[in-house]
């Protein structure tokens, strides 16, 4: 997660026809269909029709097929086993993309807020620091800041787990280049790692664009308020992420200050431990392990954000909800007692 996956997935689906001409299948129809299918394979129980349909499409294809979903990275043993067991006798190759830890901390906090959490930046950073695994497997949970971060970002553990499943010789690590690198570098590295004839063309917009800090703080407050009303999960996600974050607040990003982070000492120590573990695994690396050296992220801290910026973000969210999506109120409040809203 947060290592260029959305950009690469956008390229794969944009060039689906060209890849098909080269004998490469990008299964699942629209990008969201592939994501939904993989999710159904990873849950412990439930309807797996979408996954079975995806597997059938791949089985019917004579040649290479490629799936790209970041939540395959931290998949638990039983879930990952379901995925690999779906393709008996197939030549399975695993490619993992990774970015330096300091930039990842900043972007992952934003992602957790967009996904409905309400941890402060200070809580999130402290939780990641306290749970830093060093050379161990560390903790992985979905309830604490540290557990959720390292569940999704313990690179050495992910590489070790997938190496155990498919063999280290079938696992490749692609490093995300440092800031200032030529924009097409990641796409070229991914093409080299996979052998896929992907053209590193621009995608028309920055994939999974980051929000400004004022917008994230407003979104965090919104999450807390929605949670207090019992609006969580899928019900709150449509209102929060699709309508507000990706539409209204995204337009303010260029004019808002960004969250910054100078590289802490513990991030450097954790990176050293991670790199030592990767070297011991013997997986192929496309790019350079030096690209994982943590770099400072320019920006400000939450207390530095002006009330004016926060008010502007809050107003933009309100205008988007009321003016452009007047039906959202009915969806979000359906079944809620009127007194909960002061009416």
Q: Evaluate if pTM is beyond 0.85.
A: yes
| CA Rg value for the chain | 21
**What is the token pair recorded at 22?**
């080269």
Q: Which residues pair with 172 in a beta bridge?
A: 95, 284
SS3 call for 250 = helix
H helix or E strand, kind and range, residue 62? none
pLDDT of residue 340: 43
The residue-averaged pLDDT of 18-31 equals 93
pLDDT of residue 212: 96
State the Cα angle at 66 between 60 and 68, rounded to 5°: 135
Residue 331 has pLDDT above 60, yes or no: no
Confidence of residue 326 (pLDDT cuts 50, 70, 90): low
CA distance linking residue 33 with residue 309, whole number of Å: 37
The residue-averaged pLDDT of 83-87 equals 96
Q: How far, rounded to the nearest angstrom, does the alpha carbon of residue 76 sit from its chain's CA centroid?
A: 17
Residue that wins the pLDDT comparison between 321 and 98: 98
CA distance linking residue 191 with residue 286, whole number of Å: 10
Q: Could you give the count of Cα atoms lying within 13 Å of 26 in the half-sphere of its Cβ?
A: 26
State the Cα angle at 207 between 203 and 208, rounded to 5°: 165
- The mean pLDDT value of the chain amounts to 90
pLDDT of residue 337: 46
Quickly list H helices, the chain.
Answer: 5-14, 16-21, 31-42, 49-59, 77-85, 101-114, 121-130, 145-153, 155-166, 185-194, 213-228, 233-237, 265-281, 307-319, 328-333
Residue 42 has pLDDT above 70, yes or no: yes
Confidence of residue 204 (pLDDT cuts 50, 70, 90): low
Can you tell me which residue has the tokens 């909800």?
A: 321
Domain boundaries, the chain: 5-99+154-206+268-292, 213-257+305-335
φ/ψ of 55, rounded to 5, equals -60, -45
- Residues 204 and 83 sit within 8 Å (Cβ to Cβ): no
| Crossing angle between the packed helical segments 121-130 and 145-153, to the nearest 10 degrees | 60
Strands 24-25 and 284-286: unpaired
**What is the token pair recorded at 123?**
């809580």
Q: Which of 74, 162, 149, 97 is nearest to 119 (CA)?
A: 149
């Amino acid at each position: 997660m947060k290592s260029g996956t959305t950009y690469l997935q956008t390229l794969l689906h944009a060039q689906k026809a060209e890849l098909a001409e080269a004998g490469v299948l990008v299964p699942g129809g629209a990008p969201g269909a592939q994501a939904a299918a993989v999710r159904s394979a990873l849950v412990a129980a439930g309807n797996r029709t979408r996954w079975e349909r995806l597997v059938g499409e791949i089985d019917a294809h004579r040649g290479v097929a490629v799936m790209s979903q970041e939540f395959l990275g931290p998949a638990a043993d039983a879930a990952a086993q379901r995925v690999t067991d779906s393709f008996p006798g197939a030549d399975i190759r695993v490619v993992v993309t990774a970015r330096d830890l300091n930039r990842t901390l900043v972007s992952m906090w934003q992602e957790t807020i967009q996904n409905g959490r309400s941890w402060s930046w200070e809580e999130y950073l402290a939780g990641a620091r306290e749970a830093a695994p060093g050379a161990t497997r560390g903790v992985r949970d979905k309830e604490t800041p540290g557990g959720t971060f390292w569940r999704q970002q313990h690179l050495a553990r992910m590489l070790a787990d997938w190496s155990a499943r498919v063999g280290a010789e079938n696992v490749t690590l692609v490093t995300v280049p440092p800031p200032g690198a030529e924009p097409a570098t990641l796409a070229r590295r991914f093409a080299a790692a996979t052998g896929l004839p992907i053209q590193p063309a621009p995608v028309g917009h920055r994939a999974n664009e980051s929000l400004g800090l004022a917008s994230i703080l407003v979104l965090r407050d919104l999450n807390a308020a929605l949670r207090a009303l019992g609006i969580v999960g899928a019900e709150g996600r449509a209102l929060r992420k699709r309508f507000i974050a990706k539409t209204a607040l995204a337009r303010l990003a260029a004019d808002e200050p960004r969250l910054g982070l100078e590289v802490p000492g513990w991030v450097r120590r954790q990176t050293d431990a991670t790199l030592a573990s990767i070297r011991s695994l013997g997986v192929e690396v496309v790019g350079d392990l030096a690209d994982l050296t943590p770099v400072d992220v320019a920006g400000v801290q939450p207390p530095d954000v002006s009330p004016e910026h926060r008010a502007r973000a809050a107003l933009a969210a309100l205008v988007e909800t009321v003016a452009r999506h007047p039906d959202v109120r009915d969806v979000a409040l359906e079944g809620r007692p009127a007194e909960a809203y002061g009416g």
